[in-house]
Structure 1
Amino acid sequence: MEGKGIFLVGLLLLSIADISTAQNCPKGSPKLFVFGDSYVDTGNWPKNVGGPWKEPFGKTFPGKPNGRASDGRVLTDHIASFMGIESPTPYQQRDTSKSIQQGLNFAYGGSGVFPTWAKDSLTVQIDQFEQLLKENVCCQCDLDSSVALVSTGINDYSFYSAAKKGSNDGLPAFTEGLVNQLAADLQRINRLGVKKVVVATLPVIGCLPLHVIPPNSYQNCDEESNKNAKIHNQVLQKAVGKLNTDDGNKNTFVILDLYNAMASAIDQFRRDAANTEHKNPLQPCCSKTVEFICSAEGLCSNPKSSFFFDQAHPSDNGWNVIYSFLQGSLNNDLKA
């Protein structure tokens, strides 16, 4: 009987603790958790390495380098704005609980689903997120109303191409393995408590300035690279569909169609070329690079008029136009 009384007292104490936690937990405070590469990294790249922490990055916004691979905003900033919150603090810049009120950005430029040139693969980024949850530093209260944004894969294909010296031998099997791992990572994020997981498709890789043909002509997209990106996106679409079916909720995992948004944005830029200073969307504002990093020497006179800032990344203006083509699907999928 005495043992039963101790058990009931323990149960009562647990219940009181649960009620107290619930009362201290602000409900409905959306947060954005970001995972991926330089398309969404807002400052995790080491400052002592340079890269997006050096001029001319950040020239348009905020007027100085701030860790974004652009002259201004990147995809993360637009998604955060859509959610009505400030862009989340980069993981490497977190310091106090106040710095994670909008969520956290774990994305790392140069990273991929698999290990590439950068140390922090998608798996490592999710490990960092999980560790913060275990330490109760972050966010368990708000996960139900929060969103995870995942944008990755470009560097995996670049790394694969470099290893294969440009050959596509074995590419279908590589794509299948890559998407399988990506799907497992998306599911893991969801199981950690984030109820809405948004994953971006690959963009029109063949239209990135570093892939245009002939090289340095900035005239034509490489359709072979675009075809490979489409295949990846089709496999991803199928994998995400299966995740939703298995989850019993068709809206948990959401595809963000970056491919068609970027393609449409480039087409619009071409149509409006007569009214813009920068006539060719495929020609980057920053045409001179040192070890693939933009150099201030050779920068165009007005980055605000360009579509691509450097050989691989849209400019602030480019992301603005891309976002305009994403808004419809965001309205449908994130407000559903």
Structure 2
Amino acid sequence: MEGKGVFQVVLLLFSIAAISAAQKCPKGSPKLFVFGDSYVDTGNWPKNVSGTWKEPFGLTFPGKPDGRASDGRVLTDHIASFLGIESPTPYQLMKDDASKNTQQGLNFAYGGSGVFPTTWTWTIDSMTAQINHFDQVLKENEYSQRDLDNSIALVSTGANDYQFYFTAMKGFKDGLPAFTERLVNELAADLQRINHLGVKKIAVATLPPLGCLPLNTIPPNSYQSCDEEANKIAMIHNQLLQKAVEKLNTDDGNKCTFVILDLYNAMVSAIAQFRQNAENTEYKNPLQPCCFKIVDHICSVDGVCANPKSSFFFDLGHPSDNGWNAIYSFLQGSLNKDLRV
């Protein structure tokens, strides 16, 4: 009985703390503005460039290619669903068709982009460019201040910057620690700029466990284990990002303006759960992608596993629809605290 009483007291204190946090922090709203890379891009990738607008992407949802880097939904879709709205219209599609609904918000995310610009010719929309698009939309009076007062920004970016660093910037004179610090500082400035444009709540995702992406678990690891060195890079980045967000909230005077979505630990937990349940699935190894034939870094239509719905990763860098479902289940706790409408 004594142990039960202690548990009840702890539970009561936890409930009081949760209510207190809820009273101090304004809740989310039905307008969602999205910035970042392919983890959140729902259709800004150019249709005339090989990639997410071509088969086999979109196999599970909506049943055809639609610009998402997966066989189905991506992080944006889950966050929008959590907020009780449809995924916001991609900015490029809105530009092409003025009749597109923008009342849910807008998605400016661009697959392959990073915090910094890259030299990949089709990847021109860095975070700066994406925020410039947002600024222009606001100048055109697409949204009122009341809209912005009831809005959330979702930001997920940075992984491509590290890939670009290791493939094209190895000669960066000050080395990786200085690059990471510079990257996080620039990202923090981007988050602050979004806030200054009027968005009252900004949720930024941590880097995923880079060493667990199939691209980093291919032979000699044979998709069996994560690359711990790559994961360490992500963890250091995420620690600096956490500190930067804390500073932004201190400077802003509102500790709820900027919030962290812990994508790293959500993905690690989801992968572990997948392994634990492997006996009951057709796809035994979470680190082995559904796409077993990659041509020019893109999944080939004739190289897809028999049942994408049973995989965790769809291709070398992106979770499948099933993978994102699992990741979202581990993010929900923080969403309930930070983004509940």
With normalisation by structure 1, the TM-score equals 0.89
Partner of 2:163: 158
CA RMSD, Structure 1 to Structure 2 (Å) = 1.7
CA contact (8 A) 1:69 1:313 kept: yes
- Larger relative CO (CA 8 A, sep 6+): 1 or 2? 2
Report Cα offsets for 1:95-132 as digits up to 9, x if no partner: 33652110000000000000123110000000000011
**Residue aligning to 1:108:** 110
1:218-229 matched pairs, under 5 angstroms: 218-229=223-234
Structure 2 counterpart of 1:101, which letter? Answer: Q
**Selected match of 1:308 from 313, 322, 327:** 313
Q: Give the Å deviation of 1:169.
A: 6.9
CA contact (8 A) 2:34 2:155 kept: yes
Provide structure 1 residue ranges, at least 5 long, that are not aligned to the other structure: 1-27
Shift of 1:145: 1.1
Q: Does 1:253 align with 2:258?
A: yes
**What CA deviation, in whole Å up to 9, does each residue of 1:265-317 have, x standing for no partner?**
00000000000000000000002111111111121000000000000000000
Which amino acid is 2:106 matched to? L
Q: 1:53 to 1:168 in 2, by over 3 A?
A: farther
Q: Is the 8 A contact 1:97 1:138 kept in 2?
A: no
Shift of 1:30: 2.1
CA separation of 1:206 and 1:319: change in aligned 2, threshold 3 A? same
Match of 2:328 in 1: 323
**Which range moved further: 264-273 or 287-296?**
287-296
8 A contact 1:44–1:93 mirrored in 2 = yes
C-alpha separation in 2, matches of 1:152 and 1:322: 17
Q: Find the counterpart in structure 2 of residue 43 from structure 1.
A: 43
Query: How many Å separate the matches in 2 of 1:160 and 1:289?
Result: 22
CA distance in 2, matches of 1:264, 1:29: 28
State the Cα distance separating 1:215 from its structure 2 match: 4.2
Could you say if the C-alpha distance between residues 291 and 168 of structure 1 is closer, same or farther in structure 2, counting changes exceeding 3 Å? farther
Matches within 5 A, 1:44-59: 44-59=44-59
C-alpha distance in 2 between matches for 1:250 and 1:169: 33
1:141 offset after TM fit, Å?
A: 2.9
Letter of the 1:241 counterpart = E
5+ residue gaps, structure 2, are 1-27
**CA contact under 8 A between 1:60 and 1:72: conserved in structure 2?**
yes
In structure 1, give the amino acid aligned to 2:282.
Answer: E
Q: Which residue of 1 aligns with 2:12?
A: none
- SS of equivalent to 2:333: helix
Matches within 5 A, 1:137-176: 137-164=142-169, 170-176=175-181
TM-score, with length taken from structure 2? 0.88
Find the residue that maps to 1:47 and give its secondary structure.
Answer: coil
CA contact (8 A) 1:133 1:140 kept: no
Q: Letter of the 1:46 partner, please give it.
A: P
Find the aligned partners of 2:172 and 2:305 in 1 and give their Cα distance. Answer: 34
Between the aligned partners of 2:211 and 2:327, the Cα distance in structure 1 is 16
Shift of 1:137: 2.3
Measure the CA separation in 2 of the matches of 1:215 and 1:132: 48
Distance 2:271 2:202 in 1: 27
The answer for the alignment partner of 1:130 in structure 2 is 135
Which entry has the higher C-alpha Rg, 1 or 2? Answer: 1
Contact 1:33 1:105 in 2 (8 A): yes
Q: Which residue is equivalent to 1:67? A: 67
Question: How many angstroms apart in 2 are the aligned matches of 1:164 and 1:140?
Answer: 41
Which amino acid is the alignment partner of residue 57 of structure 1?
F
Structure 2 CA distance for aligned equivalents of residues 168 and 69 of structure 1: 33
Distance change >3 Å, CA 220–CA 199, structure 1 → 2 = same
Distance 2:183 2:261 in 1: 18
Judging changes above 3 Å, is the alpha-carbon distance between structure 1 residues 310 and 98 closer, same or farther for their aligned structure 2 residues? closer
Gap change, CA 1:182 and 1:167, over 3 Å in 2? closer
The separation in 2 between residues aligned to 1:96 and 1:215, in whole angstroms, is 50
Question: Aligned with 1:107: secondary structure?
Answer: coil
Where does residue 126 of structure 2 map in the other structure?
Answer: 121
> Aligned in 2, Cα 1:139/1:322: closer, same or farther, shift over 3 Å?
farther
**Deviations 1:8-29, CA, capped at 9 Å, x for gaps:** xxxxxxxxxxxxxxxxxxxx96
Alpha-carbon spacing, 1:167–1:227, altered in 2? closer, same or farther (3 Å): farther
Of residues 108-117 and 97-106 in structure 1, the stretch that sits farther from structure 2 once superposed is 97-106
- Range moving further from structure 2, 284-293 or 238-247: 284-293
Aligned residue pairs, count: 309
Q: Residue 299 of structure 1 aligns with which residue?
A: 304
Tell me the residue number matched to 1:276.
281
Task: Answer yes or no: is the 8 Å Cα contact 1:73–1:316 preserved in 2.
Answer: yes
